[in-house]
Structure 1
Amino acid sequence: VWPKFVLNIIFVVGMLTYAVFLGFVSDEVRTEIDLVRDSNAPVMESGHNVVLGWNRIGTSLLRQAAISRDELPHSTWGKPIVILCEEGTPEFRDALHDQLEGLNINVIVRQGNPCFIPDLLRAGTTRANTVVMLDTSLGSEEADQSIEDLNRMATASGLNLAVSQVPGQMTHGQTLVMQTDHPVDRSWLLLLGKSEFESSHPDNRLVDCYNMERVGQLAVQCALQPGLGKVYTALLQQSRDSAEFYVVSKPEMVGKTHHQIRRAFPSAIVVGYLSSEPGVTDALMNPADDYVMGSSDDIVFIASNGAVRKRGTETEEASPISLDVSHAPAASPTDV
């Protein structure tokens, strides 16, 4: 009896010792991981997203990215998001964590100046898929627009120079979304920054997203047509069951008329076409029925993201946006 009792005691003590040791190791590993995430160490991610600068819409951007991540896990926003801003202090990280609590999103914060190449390299911009440059002057009455333009140009040029300092890291094109207070083509400074950025890779593209002018136009339209604001809100505010705009490439539709194409999507409303030809970003909305889709055209449609998610789960290797395309019936004179 005593030998068995002693063996059981040894077994229990050994298990407890192993559990305590494993707990210490796990705690140390977790602590080190947290230190790396909360430090200003270089980001080792690849194919991620980078947000340069910070303003009042930053949190909304991350919330929408989290919704998009749930909707389309394999899309751009399914990857981690690195925020590089001068406000990236531990207090900023804690406040941001509280604001994003409960959301399915992976955010890494690094403190630095987006105009400085070492800071851009620390955020891994040369390996990122999408770079979003927020307007740091948004909401500031003391901001000098010319200085902000210079900062944007310096950042765009810095992205180009960062690539030249680490050759071989950029194996794909990037999309740079630049938030400004005026259209890019009205500022020679921003045009210079655009040419610098797009010259670093043939597939690089810069998308300008300007604030006040478009907001003013929307306000006028909503004032003239009461209720239109709710329509814009429904289309632009992402949720799990809302209808949203999508842009997809459908080579099998090339050569068909708009009348045939819009009848080929039973679960979507085709509203226009966006040219994907390099250097061309023209959008044709609500075209005539006899418009023929070209080889460089992408289809713009409105669809429920619930339908898109459902379709995406039915295929093993679904593209980020996939919808059924049925054969369009022959047109009749009475079709509208």
Structure 2
Amino acid sequence: MAQRQTTSLRLRLRYRFDNLVAGGTTALIGWFALACLTVVVPASTVLVWADRGAPPTLAGRLTAVWVSVGQTLKIGGAVGSPLYVLASVALALVALLFVSTLVSLITTGINRRIMLLRRGHSTVLESGHTVVLGWSDQIFPVVGELVAANSNQRRSAVAVLAPKDKVEMEEEIATSVEDTGTTRIICRNGRTTDPTELARVSPRTAKAVLVLPPEGDTGDAHVVKTLLALDAAVPEPGAAVVVAAVRDTRNHDTARLAAGPGGHVLCVDDIIARLLVQTAREPGLSLVYQDLLDFAGDEFYTAPARGLAGRTFGEALLAFTTSSVVGLLHPAGEVALNPDPGTPIGADDRIVLVSRDDDTAVQEDASSWVEEDAIVTARPAEPVAARLLLLGWNRRAPLIVEQLDQFVGPGTTLDVVSLGDETTMRCTSGISGARSRLEVDFRSGDITDPRLLAKLDVPSYDSVIVIGETGHETVSPAPLPSARAIDPTLAPETGTETDDRTLVTLLHLRAIGEAAGRELSLTTEMSDDGNRLLAPAREGADFIVSGRLISLLMTQISENRHLADVFEELFRAEGNELHLKPAADYVRTDREVAFATLVESARRRRECAVGYRLRAEAAAGPAYGVRLNPDKRQRVRFGEHDWLIVLAES
């Protein structure tokens, strides 16, 4: 009972306080003044009466009480005639009001400025920095690679603009990128499609601007609007390199028009499809691209020709001991990868090469390390028919089929299994009877169903490609039903949900491979790099992580605009691309040879050797047997199943 009374009293007091606050400012001031007087007047009386030196008369003591109250409440406490006291109190209250108002205005201004800074609405005053526009999962690998690229610089900055809370952006980046080194990460809040808000990150004075594609079906349209806003914010072409990415090939030309002649727009679907096909044909190629694109290892650079002017490109291949020459950059900006060995090098040309850093491309002749008696001549390999399996269907699938048809040998078959309708898949694939190389067969089914996979006899295929399925409802029964399968009105599956289905498929494929006692040749597409770490696959397996790959490409081009032409040719069906070819076709395998010997052997076949992969180390991380740009003096003994990494025509 006592507890209930205590609680009731507390609630009643709180209720009266709430009513007092609701009474407005005037009531609050009045009650606050009364509360102060209730405390100050009795306390001052006690102090005066307890003071041994207090006036002996009552009037004197009351006067002393008034003086104490006035000094405590900062209203003077002057004594004299009533009019004098009233005037002094009025002046004291006016002074108090003035000081309080001034302090309030200063505090409000400071708080407003602090909130403005916390919201990220202030302008970045930087020069030579990198601007990142937009927010998606790609922001983390982009910032991480930019930090790595700027590690040898004293002072660098990355400015991020996105319609997201500034503090939240900073916390997420700090969590994903633990050590930013000498690079400062500056986040600003704003819409990337508004030219006025774009000015907050100073794109006019930046060295590079990266436009990230947001998630969702409208991501490409957002990229186009951002590029148009950027053109409005910086009407005169500056020194900044503009790099953007769109997902759908149908929006590529539109985005290129919006980016202008100085912009570079990557098409995610096109690049991923081509890399999937290249890796499916030559397992291990994804590891080569991953090593080549990140700033942790060796990358593409350009170096002045200097003493090579007037000599041929073939001679330049052995002119750098610790760098691998792959092409020429002409003064007009044109890049020629793997030109004819007899091509003369101009005085103003630059050498395109793979090197550890831009300052490690030092000329040093390595021709003395070539061992003529170790070079062998192999017969050209004839295209052979193969059985291929494609599990899954999405927007990139028709591009994959088209690319496969250009490279495979006559009589090659491709079986496609997906949840989609067979007729729909055939129509969207663009397959016609005019195709003479690739025979395609479609089958509708759930690739996460182990019974379906068992019926396919997966081990009998030469290569298996697994891609994410989007836009389909889950067939019952299914191991991992999505929310969209329960309610079709929900949004299409996200990249994470797509990866979940891919992980289930890989789990069943691993069980099939173990039961058959053989290692399946798998090439897998994923959206999230974090999900790749969960994949039930062997170490060193081929994974094409679309988000991370595009992020790496964008950062590489942002650091060197000429690399856009290099990567465009590498991912193009025609021209030169990277290959993994048997090392035994180039040198003898019964002894150690210097890498310079392989470079010379590849040159005679009109190819550029840039590294090798050892089968014995293919399952050992982190390199998985891949060695890019080895020292040409390094001696290696190759086996029958080792590979040489070369740049050659398709």
Supply the distance in 1 between the matched residues of 2:115 and 2:312 (Cα, whole angstroms).
55
One of 219, 223, 227 as aligned partner of 2:284: 227
Aligned to 2:193: 115
Alignment length (residue pairs): 260
TM-score (norm 2): 0.36
CA distance in 2, matches of 1:210, 1:297: 29
Task: Considering Cα pairs closer than 8 Å and 6+ residues apart, tell me whether 1 or 2 has the greater RCO.
Answer: 1
* SS of aligned partner of 1:80: strand
Q: Please name the residue that 1:54 is paired with.
A: 135
Q: Which amino acid aligns with 1:84?
A: L
Question: How many angstroms does 1:297 deviate by?
Answer: 4.0
Q: 2: CA distance between counterparts of 1:258 and 1:98?
A: 47
Give the match for residue 154 of structure 1.
225
Equivalent residue, structure 2, for 1:323 = 361
Are 2:168 and 1:87 equivalent residues in the alignment? no
1:22 alignment counterpart: none
Distance 1:51 1:271, change over 3 A: same
CA apart distance, 1:275:
4.2
Shift of 1:131: 0.3
Cα pair distance change 1:41/1:180, threshold 3 Å: same
Q: AA paired with 1:174? A: A
1:80 offset after TM fit, Å?
A: 0.2
Residue of structure 1 aligned with 2:258, choices 185, 188, 193: 193
Deviation at 1:185, TM superposition (A): 9.0
Which residue, 215, 222, 230 being the options, matches 2:272?
215
Residue 199 of structure 2 aligns with an amino acid whose one-letter code is: L
Partner of 2:153: 73
In 2, the alpha carbon distance for the partners of 1:247 and 1:208 equals 22
In 2 relative to 1, CA 323–55 (structure 1 residues): closer, same or farther, beyond 3 Å? same
Contact preservation (8 Å) 1:236, 1:244: yes
Which of 179, 189, 198 pairs up with 1:102?
179
Deviation for aligned residue 1:55? 1.5
Q: Cα distance, 1:94 vs. partner?
A: 1.5
Kept in 2, the 8 Å contact 1:83–1:107? The answer is yes
1:68 deviates by 1.4
Residue pair 1:183, 1:209 contacting (<8 A) in 2 also:
no
Question: C-alpha separation between the residues in 1 aligned to 2:340 and 2:299?
Answer: 22
Q: What secondary structure, in the 3-state scheme, does the structure 1 residue paired with 2:122 have? A: coil
Matches within 5 A, 1:292-307: 292-294=344-346, 297-303=349-355, 305=356
| CA deviation profile, 1:83-123 (whole Å, cap 9, x unmatched) | 01112442232222222222313110011111111111111
Given the two structures, how large is their TM-score scaled by the length of structure 1? 0.67
The alpha-carbon distance between structure 1 residues 48 and 185, as it changes in their structure 2 partners (threshold 3 A), is same
Q: How far does the alpha carbon of each residue in 1:164-215 deviate from its partner, in whole angstroms, 9 at most, with x for none?
A: 5xx8xx8x5111011122569952x3243133xx4xxxxxx21222212211
Amino acid of the structure 2 residue aligned with 1:118: T
Q: Which residue, out of 210, 213, 216, partners 1:135? A: 213
Q: Could you tell me how far 1:125 is from its partner in structure 2?
A: 0.7
Q: Any unmatched runs of 5+ in structure 2? A: 1-112, 373-599, 602-650
Deviations 1:115-171 (A, max 9, x none): 11111111111111100011113xx3xx136xx34x33433333233235xx8xx8x
CA contact (8 A) 1:49 1:81 kept: yes
Counterpart of 2:353, as a letter, is F
Give the Cα–Cα distance (whole angstroms) in 2 for the partners of residues 275 and 57 of structure 1.
Answer: 33
Amino acid at match of 1:65: L
What is the SS of the residue equivalent to 2:344?
coil
Q: Which amino acid aligns with 2:258?
A: G
What code does the residue aligned with 1:48 have?
Answer: H
Structure 1: distance between partners of 2:138 and 2:316: 37
Let me know the Cα RMSD of the aligned residues.
3.2
Partner of 2:467: none
Larger radius of gyration: 2
Does the CA contact (< 8 Å) of 1:273 and 1:284 recur in 2? yes
Provide Cα deviations, 1:8-46, integer angstroms capped at 9, x if missing partner.
xxxxxxxxxxxxxxxxxxxxxxxx999847632111111
Specify the SS of the correspondent of 1:214: helix
Corresponding residue number in structure 2 for 1:177: 243
d(CA) in 1 for partners of 2:316, 2:286 = 29
| Alpha-carbon spacing, 1:88–1:273, altered in 2? closer, same or farther (3 Å) | farther
Instruction: Indicate the SS of the match to 1:83.
Output: strand
Quick one: distance in 1 between partners of 2:348 and 2:114?
46
How far apart in 2 are the matches of 1:180 and 1:296? 35
- Say whether the 8 Å CA contact 1:38–1:109 is kept in structure 2: no
**After the TM superposition, which of the residue ranges 85-94 and 213-222 deviates more from structure 2?**
85-94
Matches within 5 A, 1:283-298: 283-294=335-346, 297-298=349-350
- Asked if 1:277 corresponds to 2:332, the answer is yes
Question: Can you list the C-alpha shifts for 1:202-232, whole angstroms capped at 9, x where unaligned?
Answer: xxx2122221221121122222222222222
Indicate how the Cα distance of structure 1 residues 252 and 86 shifts in structure 2: closer, same or farther if over 3 A, else same.
Answer: farther
> Aligned-pair distance for 1:60?
0.6
Instruction: Give, in whole Å, the separation in 1 of the partners of 2:115 and 2:348.
Output: 46
SS at structure 2 position matched to 1:155: helix
Match of 2:101 in 1: none
Aligned counterparts of 2:115 and 2:331: Cα–Cα separation in 1? 42
SS state at 1:256 partner: coil
The CA distance in 1 between the partners of 2:317 and 2:114, in whole Å, is 51
Mapped partners of 1:35, 1:160: distance in 2? 26
1:40 aligns with 2:115: no
Q: Is contact 2:119-2:165 (8 Å) kept?
A: no
Match of 2:594 in 1: none
